[in-house]
Copies of this chain bind each other. A is one copy, B any other.
Amino acid sequence: MKKYNYLKLHPWEIIEEGFHANKVTSSESLFSIGNGYMGQRANFEESYSGETFRGSYIAGVYYPDRTKVGWWKIGYPDFFAKVLNSPNWIGIELNINNQDFDLNKCSRIEKFKRVLNLKEGFYLRSFEAVLKDKTRVFIESKRFLSMARKDIGMIRYKIKPINKKCSIKLKSYIDGDVANQDSNWDEQFWKHEGKETKDNFAALKSKTLKTSYKVCTFMHNELFLNNEIIREKPKIEIKKNKISHTFSYEVDSNKSLSIVKCGGYVSSIRHSSVNFNKTYELSKEALDLGFNFLLNEQKNEWKKIWENSDVLINGDVKAQQAIRYNIFQLNQTYTGEDERLNIGPKGFTGEKYGGGTYWDTEAFCFPFYLATKGSLAARNLLRYRYNHLEKAIENSQKLGFGNGAALYPMVTMNGEECHNEWEITFEEIHRNGAIAYAIFYYENFTNDKSYIPKYGLEVLIGISRFWKQRLSFSEEKNKYVLLGITGPNEYENNVNNNWYTNYIAKWCLNYSVVQVQNVREKYMTDYKRIKKKTGLSEIEIKKWKEIYQNIYMPYDSKKQVYLQQEGFLDKELKFVDEIPMNERPINQNWSWDKILRSPYIKQADVLQGFYFFEDDFTREELRRNFEFYEPFTVHESSLSACVHSILASRLYKKQKAYQFFLNASRLDLDDYNKEVMEGLHITSMGGAWMAISKGFGGMKISNGVFSFNPKLPPKWTSLSFKVNFDGSILTVMINKKETTFELTGDRPINLISSGKKITVQPKKHIT
């Protein structure tokens, strides 16, 4: 695939130099900012008549969009929950010498530059523009969404006339006339209920239809000449869903006029009451502290984040930039603080996938948040699913299951299934396994034994009940089988005995039996409560045991590989490199039946099992299966490259591992799939981090013991990454010769480094 990269390399920044009119929507995605509670695409503040996709989103504020479907099937959900494109508060219309400013209509644009500063968490844009009447101006906009004050974003928008005195009008506004691009039926999602303006403040109170979230979108403006505040009363204009404050000023050349705009959302997600006064106070305080003060706060917040999560790569700025970008975007999307929120595949950078939660979270993001934010963040992610257990039980009831069987949704906002393709919604049930696996992973990583008796076991019971009912007995095979399955490789639908799904079902049942015994032995009070709540019985547990001991696992003894599903070997087993280039990606070129009967694999399927259950297989088995399946894999899911990178590392295929890592980590920066304009692949960024820690770092946790078995890509002179244990941070430093560790905190850690047991002593902090 030809890559067209218009961005510059830099260890701490994403940089665009020169104005690329055909890349505006791409850059809008790439330079997105967020603070975990809100996020927005990097739209221009001023009006732009070229192609643009304006988007600003508030975490947890969604609308249940009525299902669109060709052929209804029983069990389909009535709606698809969608994170809402929210009122625009960043808008500043600019008029210079009576010309409306529009980057699409300037005579010349010079020195255009965008910078996303990963270290300090802001977005900068600057350029010189020559207008039709030859007026030349310098414009600079610096913007961030405050990590310290989650309701607030700040913009400093500066205009400096260069060749003549300018009469400048700045029309700063908030605008409620927004709509989701991905709306099914062009329904209204918002109802605007009130407007207020006071001094330089204005706000729009809105309610989401159906879900009744309250959101107050606000702005508060201050004007500066050079750095001197100008106490100007704006001209106020109020339209139906839009309020604007216009400031007019004559500015001599080489003086600069700036508007500092504090804006954002006060929403019922974060506030028990949503009113104008509170909003006014919040924004007033921010302005009184000043743009620079808040920017400093922002730097400090990001400093803390990086102290817990930075990955340092020497010898490869491309990789360095990519992994930091990934970590940056993951932190912009989810901060780990709120058990009601989660990580949508596109975060707040686009609307595809509706902003819902997928198994991506547990399978690809959970290890990142756990290792860089600590157990509280990870528990919040687990609790998210625990809180949805009742809904998961309802979801499975809709498909005819009972007795507390829980099927976690393919896509969800509030726990209810949102997806409506039978082959996915009803059959891609391996997702249930990932939910259980995250519980296991958490316990294994943290050694926190309290979560399972308190919460986890109920989830495990629901999941195991589902597997028990979903597995059926084949007289023919004298084994339990899973019929009608879609595995992680969605390029196969409705197959029988997908090995990965069978394997994780077996593992879930086994793990649940062990955990039930454990809780019964050690947490009797919890056990009694759970037994009463769930009606768990001995017969049930016995049945789970009998089942997991007798699940069919498709295997080919000639090739000595596990079969992705029964019948896989009946396919025409041509490798991916035989597909003509002009037919790639196949999902944009082939009809679905052609994809289905091909051997081509969208993302790791059998190999996903090898990734999850590393200890269950020998390296030789891994090699055989990797070498069998990888040549059929088209990696057309953003979640494919990371797993393959990790497995390639495990097999010491260092160059392959490196290439997969670049594919995973630079997917958006290099826009491999030519779709970055739709938004970033946030969840796959968690996979890129795993490729670092678990792949190149060779991190593994077995029975609570960490081991590191690094395989550095040839190009890299050194790599370091961090693993957060509550209260301590372990920095793993790998170079060509050795692996060393640095530890903060109070207690030593025992670990295995390249096969040797060692104890890492904490370094005393000097503050």
Contacts and interface: CB of A to CB of B under 8 A. Distances in A.
A251 to B, nearest CB: 52
Contact of A592 (B68, B73, B476, B597): B73
Given A74-B591, A591-B399, A596-B484, A573 B496 contact: no
A627 interface: no
Interface string A37-74: 00000000000000000000000000000011111011
A494 B496 contact: no
Contact of A74 (B483, B572, B590): B590
A567 interface: yes
Contact of A570 (B74, B474, B494, B572): B474
B591 A73 contact: yes
Contacts of A481: 570
A484 B493 CA distance: 9
B567 A597 contact: no
A567 B496 contact: yes
B476 A74 contact: no
A594 B67 CA distance: 21
A591 B75 contact: yes
A724 B477 CA distance: 53
A420 interface: yes
A573 B484 contact: no
Nearest to A567: B496
A89 B572 CA distance: 59
Given A75-B592, A399-B593, A592-B75, A70 B420 contact: yes
A427 interface: yes
A183 to B, nearest CB: 14
Given A481-B570, A496-B567, A570-B481, A426 B474 contact: no
A738 interface: no
Nearest to A552: B570
Contacts of A420: 70-71
Contacts of A398: 591
A81 B635 CA distance: 37
A643 B75 CA distance: 31
Nearest to A496: B567
Which of A477, A493, A495, A591 is most buried by chain B, counting CB atoms within 10 A of its CB?
A591
Contacts of A71: 420-421
A123 to B, nearest CB: 34
A81 B321 CA distance: 53
Given A494-B494, A496-B567, A593 B473 contact: no
A502 to B, nearest CB: 12
Nearest to A483: B597
Interface in A419-453: 420-423, 426-427
Interface string A157-173: 00000000000000000
A571 interface: yes
A750 interface: no
A702 interface: no
- Classify the secondary structure of A's interface with B: loop
A472 interface: yes
Interface in A265-292: none
Interface in A583-622: 587-594, 596-597
Which of A421, A473, A567 is most buried by chain B, counting CB atoms within 10 A of its CB?
A567
Contacts of A569: 474-476
A755 interface: no
A566 interface: yes
Given A567-B496, A593-B399, A573 B475 contact: yes
Contacts of A567: 483, 496, 566-567
A400 interface: yes
A400 B594 contact: yes
B400 A570 contact: no
A101 to B, nearest CB: 39
B70 A426 contact: no
Interface string A391-425: 00000001110000000000000000000111100
A457 to B, nearest CB: 27
Contact of A484 (B68, B422, B473, B593): B593
Contact of A426 (B494, B495, B592): B592
A572 B473 contact: yes
Interface string A462-506: 000000000011111100010110000000011110000000000
A446 B572 CA distance: 42
A67 B483 CA distance: 31
A588 B73 CA distance: 9
A365 B588 CA distance: 39
A611 B597 CA distance: 29
A181 to B, nearest CB: 16
Contacts of A69: 68-70
Given A75-B592, A427-B593, A474-B571, 14 more contacts: A68-B69, A68-B70, A69-B69, A74-B592, A422-B591, A423-B494, A474-B569, A476-B569, A476-B570, A483-B571, A493-B493, A493-B494, A494-B495, A566-B566
Closest 8 CB pairs of A and B: A75-B591, A426-B593, A483-B597, A69-B70, A484-B597, A474-B570, A476-B569, A422-B592
22 contacts: A67-B70, A68-B69, A70-B70, A70-B421, A71-B421, A74-B590, A399-B591, A422-B592, A423-B494, A426-B593, A427-B593, A472-B597, A473-B572, A474-B570, A474-B571, A481-B570, A483-B567, A483-B570, A483-B597, A494-B596, A496-B570, A566-B567
